[in-house]
A and B are shown apart, each in its own frame.
Chain A
């Protein structure tokens, strides 16, 4: 069945092929191959892949289902926090046990817990483990939480919102309010997640202290590539076939679909929830590569940028989202990282670190106005032209 599905969606095959080639090229250029690509750049590419994954999810929920969610980065962040809790706990436990090993009297379990608590929460003036850290000593449970917490949150939020027929811009504002509320909550010191300090040191994977970062970064790169591939196939499958038609129909005319007897709310809820879960998985892969997560990451602006990527890449086509996320985020780090040369105008020198956002904002307006199909629209043009 998958076979026939892939046959019907050649773009998916092309995408998988491209992704595999990209992975091979990166491996060849990295330390594992000829070694011309720095570890930090491999990490940047790995992170970019995670952003591509959440962009694909965003494309499904917005480009296919017509729900402009301005809150998907909240799920991304929750995924990151869930994994980060385990990473931080396990690593701190290792450090604490090492320091106890030099003492004459072996520590009691309570002493170990207290010492870990002190290490992690000392920065917010506490040493107690909050209730939400109850499972932080178990990787498997935390990985389950990566899926469960955002899934349930999306389910609850979506159920409340769709049930009362909140649509259009109202829903966008509401999702934005949700991510703002979450960010504000996490900013508090007594939220149990270290306030605005966030979780840090996540690039150190417990159990792999002796493995060089170059290997770890490559491993995460592969994992991210695999996640993008699986996510892409999953969403390509969801958006094709009968279900895909219903979803697209909801985008185009919700009332008409409802009158045809479809239970619109269930479809929307399904799409909203599954994209939230995928966003969370992307986050769980992203933050170990970034090394730090703090509440500023889930501020409303992040989710809006997500929408910008998808819009620039081209809505309603999955590869468009991937292109948009990769293109804009890499370009953005090139410009803001000082990679772009300054333009001297004689009376004024254009520093791209200052002017990049102006350019991004204006080009975004231009894309919305003149190229609503985004960069992905160019592919349509190229593909159809010869025929």
Chain B
């Protein structure tokens, strides 16, 4: 009490200019409560501070909460940082810095409960803080740990919000809070209903939070409770689970397990017998039960509880799930809202799945189109196609070793990969395949030999561990539509690349001299040759083109998967499927095949998300069956071109 008098004296003596709007003054009027606050008493102080409208209040509250406010020997409050024996003081009103010996100052250490109250009070200041980042932080902290008390300050801050995005976020958050905490049920229901169009994970969490249930057991269904569902043992809840609940509540004894019977029997063997059953006969369940019953009767073992006892006990009780929320109108509204949200989520997931499938299809298309050209145009199976893909990916990796900029390295790698694999393809055509035309099965085997040699060669050069092919920073991240639908930029880039190549190849085949000659050789090499086209040269170029595209596909695939010597082998079978399903000798066919396989694989994965291996198995089985009914693929050539 003397202290208060001294302080009052000081106030009068030292700060004659202090105005009523001075924070220090205001604090001094509550000096006792500020210096040693209690959870209940601090409310008055906070209300006064909030009402004062002094701009420094928010900073002061933050520092107070952080235990950085010290009280000087004269009773004045300072924001202070301890440094050895001295304190660096900051005046709470003017912000003037000074130092003073620590002796004589007392640190204010509000307890946890008080700090929490301060924190809640702080929110309203932070929400209206002129600094945008601080407002954003405050909103994020509310989103992390929503509390009923935050609703009012949040609502109050919405009108004054200048930033449009943050305002929208505040409105959304206010909706979440009122759905959970508003006092008036009509307000809650209105908020809940407004959530029915929000597919964000947060909104679903809010609704699920309202709909949490707990399991109850009673002899009769309570009439006044907000019951979510009656659980019939054997239907909604398994018999064992229901009985376990009874056992947990000490309403029944646990079923005697086979293990318990066995150990009880083993513990009570007398002269090679248990009761009147010889031990050797205890090898059936019935005999064991019979012997155990004797033990139970004699009192040496607890009574036998069988499944029949379990069923009888279950019949005496009803099991139900009861909402933690008492008001049925609110749970009904939440249920309706959640159902509508889930419908929207399902639509979103379908869209997301479609995007995934599209990107997978474009990868298959890129991997297969080169194969389709060589297979379709020349009738040559190139088992080393996968290794050309790998070669392209390693080209990208090597370029990145020399070119530090990722963007530049990709721009260099794409044409370089094309050049390298084009060269490799032409060399292979000249050295091997040229000699094996009209022996397609042997081309398959010879190119397979090249494939294993190339694969091992890559292993010898680059090692067995996966090498990274890093995408430029602008391809990082994902295009996010909402919490359900999103797609990574790299997949979009691959999709764009696939589309570019689709049109490029169509252009080359349909609009250029080379394409004309290629098509002529495809349809009738002899006639083409007599028209002055050199089939040899065309075959070589076609093979080079197909291989070059494989190289580019390799760079694209390497960007999102790791580069290993086996990466080609992972795609070769899928690429063959794509070509065969689509129909040979037709770019559109390959596109159709890639789409079919991409969508099919994603679809099956969606039906059975835990098991991608099963998805691949079923997909291959489907393709095997598909070939039975359309042996020439989706887009079959007709007429003379189709002749073997």
- A interface residues with partner B (beta carbon < 8 Å): 68, 103-111, 157, 160-161, 163-166, 168-170, 172-174, 176-178, 180-181, 184-185, 187-188, 190, 300-301, 304, 307-308, 311, 354-365, 368-369, 372
Contact = CB atoms under 8 A, between A and B. Distances in A.
Nearest to A166: B631
A358 B580 contact: no
A168 B442 CA distance: 11
A111 B265 CA distance: 16
Given A104-B279, A185-B614, A190-B611, 19 more contacts: A104-B266, A106-B282, A106-B283, A108-B283, A157-B624, A164-B627, A173-B381, A177-B573, A181-B617, A188-B611, A300-B573, A301-B569, A355-B460, A361-B449, A365-B449, A368-B446, A368-B449, A369-B435, A369-B446
Nearest to A178: B624
A184 B280 contact: no
A302 to B, nearest CB: 12
* Chain B, interface SS category: helix
Identify the 3 closest CB pairs spanning chains A and B, nearest first: A361-B453, A364-B449, A357-B456
Contacts of A360: 449, 452-453
B445 A169 contact: no
Interface of B: 258, 262, 265-266, 269, 279-280, 282-285, 288, 381, 432, 435-436, 440-442, 444-446, 448-457, 459-460, 569, 573, 576-577, 580, 611, 613-614, 616-617, 620-621, 623-625, 627-629, 631, 644
A311 B285 contact: no
A331 to B, nearest CB: 15
A380 B360 CA distance: 52
20 contacts: A106-B280, A157-B624, A166-B627, A166-B628, A169-B440, A173-B580, A177-B620, A177-B623, A180-B573, A180-B620, A184-B616, A184-B617, A188-B617, A361-B451, A361-B453, A365-B446, A365-B449, A369-B432, A369-B436, A372-B442
A363 B452 CA distance: 11
Contacts of A170: 580, 627, 631
Contact of A307 (B445, B453, B628): B445
B269 A104 contact: yes
Contacts of B444: 68, 169, 172
A178 B432 CA distance: 29
Nearest to B569: A301
Given A181-B620, A365-B432, A372-B442, A174 B449 contact: no
A362 B452 CA distance: 9
Contacts of B282: 105-106
Given A361-B449, A361-B456, A369-B432, A177 B279 contact: no
A174 B381 contact: no
A204 B119 CA distance: 71
A99 B132 CA distance: 72
Nearest to A350: B460
A355 B452 CA distance: 11
Contacts of B284: 108-109
Contacts of A188: 611, 613-614, 617
Contacts of B436: 368-369
Contacts of A108: 283-285, 288
A312 to B, nearest CB: 10
A176 B106 CA distance: 82
A252 to B, nearest CB: 13
A364 B613 contact: no
B442 A355 contact: no
B450 A177 contact: no
Nearest to B619: A181
Contacts of B453: 357-362, 365
Contacts of A164: 627-629, 631
Contacts, number: 149
B627 A174 contact: yes
A165 to B, nearest CB: 6
A360 B440 CA distance: 21
A132 B613 CA distance: 19
A109 B629 CA distance: 49
Most chain B beta-carbon contacts within 10 A, residue among A106, A107, A365: A365
Contact of A354 (B283, B440, B459, B625): B459
Contact of A361 (B381, B450, B611): B450
A102 B269 CA distance: 15
A105 B279 contact: yes
A105 B265 contact: yes
A181 B621 contact: yes
B456 A358 contact: yes
A357 B285 contact: no
B327 to A, nearest CB: 44
Nearest to B258: A111
A161 B266 contact: no
A369 B439 CA distance: 11
Contact of A308 (B445, B623, B627): B445
Contacts of A369: 432, 435-436, 446
B493 to A, nearest CB: 29
A117 to B, nearest CB: 15
Given A184-B613, A300-B573, A362 B449 contact: yes
Contact of A368 (B269, B279, B445, B576): B445
A249 to B, nearest CB: 17
A368 B432 CA distance: 9
A307 B280 CA distance: 58
Contacts of A68: 441, 444
Contact of B613 (A157, A187, A354): A187
Nearest to B620: A181
A166 B266 CA distance: 66
Most chain A beta-carbon contacts within 10 A, residue among B262, B283, B441: B441
A280 to B, nearest CB: 20
A185 B618 CA distance: 9
A20 B455 CA distance: 40
Contact of B452 (A111, A165, A172, A361): A361
A300 B383 CA distance: 12
A106 to B, nearest CB: 4
Most chain B beta-carbon contacts within 10 A, residue among A107, A187, A358: A358
B580 A185 contact: no
Contacts of A168: 440-441, 644
Contacts of A110: 285
Contact of B441 (A105, A106, A169, A359): A169
Nearest to A369: B435
Contacts of A301: 569
Nearest to A185: B617
Nearest to B614: A188
Given A68-B441, A355-B460, A308 B621 contact: no
Most chain A beta-carbon contacts within 10 A, residue among B266, B620, B621: B620
A144 B288 CA distance: 38
Contacts of B279: 104-106
Contacts of A308: 445, 448-449
A178 B644 CA distance: 24
Given A108-B285, A169-B444, A185-B614, A354 B460 contact: yes
A174 B577 CA distance: 9
Given A106-B280, A108-B283, A169-B440, A358 B457 contact: yes
Contacts of A300: 573
A157 B285 CA distance: 46
